[in-house]
Homo-oligomer: A and B are copies of this chain.
């Protein structure tokens, strides 16, 4: 997608260096972060300089390729990279795929292919999703499942970009998405760049607008989809799904097939990352709470399949109970 009149991906590789859009600096500053070796790339994943399922997957694939290029212990590198973020399925998928490479050239080629396939899958998700968006539709999204979370296009936002390019008028309600504010910071930034009308709202206000029937549909991304259609995504997604059902508003998730964990029977088996309580206790380094107060900070929740009207993938839109059929034969 375009930033300041240039085309960018969120992550790419150049002469053995992994380049990332430095996401914690957005929306204030647009800057490219360079990782010279797999350890730096792993650290960038861990510290969320790159975040979002697809972008993490591509970065992890490139990181393994970096390990190949500099003749590192590949198995050790894989372990380091896999230990960065526990919930995103794409990370494990990418690492394991590049690990099968016979040599440096093949590792590079597989890593590049993972990134390209991610971008293409997201573009196709947009094409499948666009008929869901009527002209003048009002859409709620949570967190950031735009192109910053992938290599390009994004998932939840991809149908919105595609519809915009077809000339449809849309309005997007953007959950700010505490604690890390990916909605307020990243989704709002993407929509601003694409000149799509939107309003940021406190996460608390989504139900208010649903009850007033000002939201026609909800689309979010997905971090891991279990075989039964239960889906892990950013904390708060489950709340929006329950509220959408209560107000008869269709709730869609958008994700590439790589997000499906075919080894995972149900959402109960998806591990949920508990992040540093500081993300809740502080905003941008400013303490909000009393010094004695503690916080709890689960980063994801699981939305049971029965709240999900459909999952928009690069192979079409599927009801959650059909996910099982997509398993590789």
Contacts and interface: CB of A to CB of B under 8 A. Distances in A.
Contact of A200 (B27, B181, B243, B295): B295
A281 B188 CA distance: 11
B293 A204 contact: no
Given A176-B280, A184-B288, A242-B243, A297 B205 contact: yes
Given A239-B243, A243-B242, A204 B178 contact: yes
B204 A294 contact: no
A189 interface: yes
B242 A208 contact: no
Given A246-B242, A295-B199, A290 B27 contact: yes
Interface string A265-296: 00000001000000011011011111111111
B289 A188 contact: yes
Interface residues of A, number: 56
A167 to B, nearest CB: 21
B202 A178 contact: yes
Interface in A15-37: 27-28
A202 B203 contact: yes
A56 to B, nearest CB: 21
B235 A200 contact: no
B188 A293 contact: yes
A124 interface: no
Nearest to A272: B208
A201 B296 contact: yes
A310 interface: no
A81 to B, nearest CB: 27
A301 B184 contact: no
A250 interface: no
Nearest to A173: B296
A200 B181 CA distance: 16
Contacts of A286: 283-284, 286
Given A176-B178, A242-B243, A283-B284, A293 B211 contact: no
A249 to B, nearest CB: 12
Nearest to A179: B202
A236 interface: yes
A62 to B, nearest CB: 28
Nearest to A281: B200
A222 to B, nearest CB: 16
Given A199-B294, A200-B280, A238 B207 contact: yes
15 contacts: A27-B290, A27-B293, A178-B203, A181-B288, A185-B288, A185-B289, A189-B290, A200-B281, A200-B295, A202-B203, A204-B234, A207-B301, A208-B298, A208-B301, A283-B283
The 5 A-B residue pairs whose C-beta atoms are closest, nearest first, are A204-B236, A207-B239, A27-B290, A178-B202, A188-B293
